[in-house]
Amino acid sequence: MNAVTPFAVPQDSPFGPDNLPYGVFSTAGGPRRLGVAYGDHVLDVGAAARATGAAGELAGLLEAPSLNPLLEAGRPAWRQARAAITAWVTAEEHRAAVGPCLVPRGEVTLHLPFEVADYVDFYASEHHAANLGRIFRPGAEPLTPNWKHLPIGYHGRAGTVVVSGTPVVRPSGQRKAPAEPAPSYGPSQRLDIEAEVGFVVGAPTPLGERVELRDADRHVFGVCLVNDWSARDLQAWEYVPLGPFLGKSFATSVSPWVVPLDALTHARIEPPARDTEPLPYLDDRSARPPSGLDIALEVRLNGHPVSRPPFAAMYWTYAQMLAHMTVNGASLRAGDLFASGTVSGPDRDTRGALIELTWNGEQPLELPDGTTRAFLQDGDEITITATAPGPNGTRIGFGEVTGRISPAR
């Protein structure tokens, strides 16, 4: 960039001028405002729009207390907003006007960045699906017959998607181990995580229309981190034949920052080689640019790194997930969230769930404090972070999604 950088951030900042992720913040009990993370600050974009005399339509979108109006406005508006905000933080002419709109990150409270419309969770990692197949169906084919023909998913509970930092109350419910004669009710004994990447839908579609693979980027605004908390004992007893229900719906945590897809240009890669020819509506072999994303995740348990799942290894891409999710004519709404499913790589220390990391509890993790974990204990804190390549050797940061387990009520 040739312009002088008035609000310079270090080259290694995860929130440099090429990222500019959106979130919703407040200060000292004040109203919620739309912000963009920049270095160690949050830019109040509504205030910056007013201070710089931005066009009325753009200013209106940025002055909203949620990302949803901008989401709904579609890609031309997303580009216009990104260009304006980039200029505000990099061009000398805006320094005096924009400077007062930067709030130190330590002074803000971050909220859910968008109102979640519908929530869908996929199962797009071959390594994760195969590991669970080996754990639950030993001796059988690890993958179900449909797995390589369609991205498997289910509809989750949008109303219990919570922002990072929200305590997660240990869920109670029905469970029955195979050896037990009857089900019992009580707090989950096998509370787990699923480290995932979430995609935030912007531009809506009318009922009856599908989104073609090549049009995915018209509808996907950006990316966040997701922890799909999972009670494995509740899940195991309830999931046949209709899939996940109460073992998942008690809470799903998301990171407070939504990284625009436009910030991930340098992270785009070919998905891994696939050995099954997809039906034409899922065939992305000639898609340019490719929709694989080189996002490197890290999972920490009580501050101790336990896994580094590679999103680059995912079998199905976000464009294929979106094409499949709408192929029956189901409409999209601004604020729809679809998540990738657990991100797991080929190696043990790249698995994104405790059930895989501990092989269903048989090989507990050893933590530096001398304790071991098969599944989560009350008071445990899980933090998922991620970065992706940016231009000129920079890293695009996703911030973090964190949550601590509270005792059952």
Q: Give residues in contact with Ca ion (CB under 5 A).
A: 121, 194, 228, 341
Instruction: Indicate the residue among 14 and 247 with the shorter CB distance to Ca ion.
Output: 247
C-alpha dihedral, 207 to 212 to 217 to 221, nearest 10°: 30
Instruction: Indicate the residue among 126 and 194 with the shorter CB distance to Ca ion.
Output: 194
Query: How many CA atoms are closer than 13 Å to the CA of 407, on its beta-carbon side?
Result: 1
Q: Which residues are catalytic?
A: 128
Minimum gap (Å) between residue 368 Cβ and Ca ion: 28
Minimum gap (Å) between residue 301 Cβ and Ca ion: 18
Minimum gap (Å) between residue 226 Cβ and Ca ion: 8
Instruction: Indicate the residue among 173 and 244 with the shorter CB distance to Ca ion.
Output: 244
Minimum gap (Å) between residue 192 Cβ and Ca ion: 10
Query: How many CA atoms are closer than 13 Å to the CA of 405, on its beta-carbon side?
Result: 26
Question: What letter does residue 347 receive in the DSSP assignment?
Answer: S
Instruction: Indicate the residue among 45 and 313 with the shorter CB distance to Ca ion.
Output: 313
Alpha-carbon gap, residue 22 to 258, rounded angstroms: 5
Instruction: Indicate the residue among 44 and 194 with the shorter CB distance to Ca ion.
Output: 194
How is 37-79 classified by DSSP, letter by letter?
Answer: EETTEEEEHHHHHHHHT--HHHHHHHTSSSSHHHHHH-HHHHH
Q: Which residue is nearest to Ca ion (CB)?
A: 228
Alpha-carbon distances of 111 from 94, 374, 398, 400, rounded to whole Å: 28, 31, 15, 13
Minimum gap (Å) between residue 230 Cβ and Ca ion: 7
Alpha-carbon gap, residue 16 to 395, rounded angstroms: 8
C-alpha dihedral, 327 to 204 to 402 to 15, nearest 10°: 120
